[in-house]
Amino acid sequence: MTQQVTPNIVVVRQPPTKVTFSLTAAAVTTVTTEALLSMVSVRGVTAAGAATSQTVTTGKTLRITSITIAVVASGAAAIVQGNAILRARASGSLVTTDPALWRGRVSSNSTVQQSAGWMSATFPDGLDLPSGTVFGFSTIASVTTGAWDISLNGYEF
């Protein structure tokens, strides 16, 4: 009598490789007509030049985990109120009329120079953008005497 031995097969699944992603703008002057915001992206530890739109890496998904926006009164005595809008499209050039995925509104709440208003949004399950999606922020404010600080964080996998 012969015995047949069946080997145990173990399948090891590697977790997807994550690459951190951030998109930032600091001290960018506010505008009173909606416009795309020039921002610097960092994938892993590699920064790219400033651009008004970004594209999710081919074959990857970008999972956005948080967005923080702030507006600072940096000029004449005026309260600065503004909207920052995350926009996206499947491909092509991003424009201010593209669909809004997220919108935040903040106000400096004071006419004192350097007063600021800010907000932060977290996405516990992530806000996922598929491969090839073109995205970026547009902004509009009540006066041109303010400055935006915006940060988007997440990872590609």
Lowest mean pLDDT: which of 75-84, 86-95, 117-126?
75-84
Which has more pLDDT, 136 or 9? Answer: 136
Predicted local distance difference test score (pLDDT) of residue 77: 73
**Whether the predicted pLDDT of 90 surpasses 90:** yes
Banded pLDDT at 5 (limits 50, 70, 90): low
Tell me the pLDDT tens digit for each residue of 8-28: 676 666 666 899 999 999 999
Predicted local distance difference test score (pLDDT) of residue 142: 95
Say how far apart CA 109 and CA 117 lie, in whole Å: 7
Banded pLDDT at 110 (limits 50, 70, 90): confident
Predicted local distance difference test score (pLDDT) of residue 11: 67
Say how far apart CA 49 and CA 120 lie, in whole Å: 25
Banded pLDDT at 2 (limits 50, 70, 90): low
What is the average pLDDT score of the chain?
Answer: 92
The pLDDT of 99-123, averaged and rounded, is: 93
- Backbone angle region of 40, left / alpha / beta, with phi > 0 → left and psi within -120 to 50 → alpha: beta
Question: In percent, how much of the chain has pLDDT > 90?
Answer: 82
Strand runs labelled E in the chain = 19-29, 35-36, 40-43, 46-47, 54-55, 62-73, 81-89, 100-107, 116-129, 134-141, 146-156
What structural domains does the chain harbor? Answer: 19-156 (2.60.120.20)
The pLDDT of 111-125, averaged and rounded, is: 92
Predicted local distance difference test score (pLDDT) of residue 57: 97
